[in-house]
A and B are shown apart, each in its own frame.
Chain A
């Protein structure tokens, strides 16, 4: 099987990056290929990179409430471009309600505080396989 390609990004002005770096390392150690976009991204840039890099999944690290707004924009953009790339979201500030809301908005999976890396890896594999 080919390596799973993951685009990892932080949204908007959110400056917290350690989560994204840490998860990226774990994914790489698990044999995935991570295209690391870093901080300061708006949805159009994420879409553009995802298409150019032909990724299997988009991972967003959120430690500011900006995700509440940008995720809807990104989901819509992907639809407009007929790009069926699943999105997963992680961040220590995600509450139970946030996770529910994100799933309703069309996110494939969302993870709150203290989620083990193995669980994220397991979810990514199953989401990509079922694509």
Chain B
């Protein structure tokens, strides 16, 4: 920043003193790691260096191609998996849909049926490796549940996570064309189901990463994150679900930009805010409910298409901040992020960056090493205050589900993107290679070719899915899809059971979502191109 402020526009002094932390009470505001209010860390870890899960974003082509990617990453020392669906999969349409053609498998894995889940997880020890899915949550949880059972693994042993994003997905690249009431119900049903059947599974990940990539600052990111968490919690409580049955498995997947201390302070403020909210406002009694898991993706928006090699440095700085902040998992947005999902080369560099920080820098030996810093404590307080003010301001405007329908959030995202572009244009936010230290296009060659390499759509996959659809027991299929339709009409039913049954009976994500859409009075196909099978 060229102005004396943080990236979130918090004014800065030239230095901080004990006057700035005058009101800081150690027990009240900080306490030891692992103690309420968890500012300094989720738990007291005697081996802090080994604590975070290292995973890089994967998912490309068909499920078997992505499975090979999994194995490559695990062989290089990755300690968890992180997979994203391609555009049709995250949008709940099947690869054989006419709209899907050129996006099958080239920006994530194409996945739609039970066999795909089998292929994706081939030879992966499901009870040992944690998998974070950026896929429609209810379907990913259903797929995992079924294949665990097939492999003789009790679902109660499953770890990993799914993202619940009912409020913002439609406006931020994950439109599934389902009404908000159904999206919210699916989130609550999934959380409730997993709490019972897959108790170790993180069924409630609040992903503030993807929507803040529109250009939101750290305050807006966390405020909207808390608004969504609170919206789902209220829905669950209204359904009579006990807070302590699911709160221990809430996690927040945050963004990490280049403002080093602000991002660290944000993590600390988030832990403190969450624990106070869940204990004091929602009455959680189980101490496990109070300490939220925080995982992270480093910011793709902070990376540049120009001089892609610089993105390696950005990833290192951002992940160092996260290691110091004490998060539970890190994914570095790879240097080719501006163009594509990660190449093997960028996977290698990103993973090695994490490993070097962990093994060589010694920063992780002491928990919360910045605790007590005049600056970081003052910034943590200020960020916490600003996040909470924004949460209350949004909630005062009305029910977040209605605000979502009215497009209130959409305008927040659009304005943030324009503000970000303006800050770069006016050089308020400096970006090396973009608005400072630029080089001529013809000299900008280092790693450029790797970054710009494109992935072709997997057209074969479309034919394969068409064949699969023909080969199914049509009578049984119709029966399970009818079942989904009927259960979706009854608002008291938990949709996870019919989704599991339909997936087992050969139904695909697109078909199951389509019949549920119909049950809510909408067209089977949001694009108006294909007919309902029931």
Contact = CB atoms under 8 A, between A and B. Distances in A.
Interface of A: 12-16, 18, 21-22, 25, 39-40, 42, 64-66, 68-70, 92-93, 95-97, 112-114, 116
A124 to B, nearest CB: 19
B424 A113 contact: no
A69 B102 contact: yes
Contacts of B425: 116
Interface string B416-452: 0110010011000000001000000100000000001
B87 A68 contact: no
Contact of B87 (A21, A22, A64, A113): A64
Interface residues of B, number: 37
A18 B212 CA distance: 13
Contacts of A14: 87
A93 B305 contact: yes
Given A93-B305, A93-B339, A18 B103 contact: no
Contacts of A69: 101-102
Contacts of B457: 65
Judged by DSSP, the binding face of A is loop
Interface of B: 87-88, 91, 93, 98-103, 106-107, 172-175, 214-215, 304-306, 338-339, 413-414, 417-418, 421, 424-425, 434, 441, 452, 454-455, 457, 527
Contacts of B101: 69
Contacts of B413: 18
Contact of A21 (B88, B338, B414, B455): B414
B87 A40 contact: no
A92 B417 CA distance: 13
A66 B98 CA distance: 13
Contact of A64 (B93, B107, B338, B418): B107
Contacts of B172: 15
A93 B338 contact: yes
Nearest to A25: B418
Given A21-B414, A22-B417, A15 B175 contact: yes
B338 A92 contact: yes
A125 to B, nearest CB: 21
Given A65-B106, A113-B338, A116-B425, A95 B91 contact: no
B438 to A, nearest CB: 10
B338 A65 contact: no
A113 B306 contact: yes
Contact of B452 (A70, A95, A116): A95
Given A22-B414, A97-B452, 14 more contacts: A13-B91, A13-B93, A15-B87, A16-B173, A18-B214, A18-B418, A39-B175, A42-B98, A65-B103, A65-B455, A92-B338, A93-B339, A96-B441, A113-B338
Closest 5 CB pairs of A and B: A18-B417, A15-B173, A66-B102, A113-B305, A13-B87
Contact of B421 (A22, A65, A68, A95): A22
B231 to A, nearest CB: 22
B272 to A, nearest CB: 32
Contacts of A39: 175
Contact of A42 (B99, B174, B339): B99
B335 to A, nearest CB: 15
Contacts, number: 72
A40 B87 CA distance: 12
Contacts of B452: 95, 97
B310 to A, nearest CB: 14
Contacts of B98: 42
Contacts of B441: 96
B425 to A, nearest CB: 7
A14 B101 CA distance: 12
Nearest to A19: B417
B88 A13 contact: yes
Nearest to A66: B102
A79 to B, nearest CB: 21
A36 B527 CA distance: 18
Nearest to B86: A13
A97 B99 CA distance: 26
Contact of B103 (A13, A21, A93): A13
Contacts of B338: 92-93, 113
Nearest to B413: A18
Nearest to B90: A15
Given A18-B413, A113-B306, A13 B100 contact: yes
Given A93-B338, A95-B452, A116-B425, A64 B414 contact: no
Contacts of A15: 87, 91, 172-175
A104 to B, nearest CB: 17
A93 B173 CA distance: 16
A65 B527 CA distance: 20
A68 B339 contact: no
A69 B101 CA distance: 10
B259 to A, nearest CB: 21
19 contacts: A13-B99, A15-B87, A15-B172, A18-B413, A18-B417, A18-B418, A22-B417, A22-B421, A25-B418, A39-B175, A42-B98, A42-B99, A64-B103, A64-B107, A65-B102, A65-B106, A92-B305, A92-B338, A116-B425
Given A22-B417, A93-B305, A97-B452, A66 B103 contact: yes
Contacts of B339: 93, 95
